[in-house]
Structure 1
Amino acid sequence: MFQINAKKLGFAFGLTGALIYIGCMIVMTTTGKEGSITFFNNLLHGLDTTTIIRMDVPLTEALFGFVQTFILGWLMGACIGTFYNLQIKNK
């Protein structure tokens, strides 16, 4: 079996999370509060996002969220790659 490059997988996960974060920002910017509520209520079937959607997010907070999302995605991908590689070695 092939080993996974954990750093590259982490980078792929991080970029994917960052793209989803940007997509969320675009949805909220273009559709407004009511459109965002409708979009996320449809996406998260069964959850009502009316009380948790906040439209007045400062730019610095959005940038920190973007960076944190990338870091968490990188960590998840790197962990998955590492754990996968460890399982290969044990067999």
Structure 2
Amino acid sequence: MYRLNIKKLGFAFGLTGAIIYLGCMIVMATAGQEGSIIFFNSLLHGLDTTSLIRMDVPLLEAFFGIVQTFILGWLIGACIGAFYNAQIKRR
């Protein structure tokens, strides 16, 4: 059975999360508050995000958010890789 590279899988998860975070930033920057509410309401199956969406996010807070998202994604991917590899029978 094929073993996963834990660090590479973690990096892939982290980078994917960071790209999704950037996508949210782009939607909010281009669509405005009303457009963002419509977009995220439809994405989240009608969950009302009106009270959740804040448009005045400081740049430093957004930077820390993308870094934290990458770190959490890396940890999740690394755990999945480690758990997967632990289940493989060794020869």
Aligned-residue identity in percent: 77
Question: TM-score, normalising length from structure 1?
Answer: 0.97
Q: Which runs of 4+ in 1 moved over 3 A?
A: none
Gaps of at least 5 residues in structure 1 are: none
C-alpha displacement of 1:46: 3.0
Higher helix share: 1
* Gaps in structure 2 of 5+ consecutive residues: none
For 1:46 and 1:29, the matched residues in 2 are separated by 21
Give me the CA root mean square deviation.
1.3
Tell me, what secondary structure is at the counterpart of 2:89?
Answer: helix
Deviation per CA, 1:31-64, whole angstroms, max 9, x where unpaired? 0000000000000013100011000000000000
Q: How many residues align?
A: 91
Q: CA deviation at 1:90?
A: 7.0
TM-score by length of 2: 0.97
Q: Counterparts of 1:51 and 1:82 in 2: how far apart (Å)?
A: 38
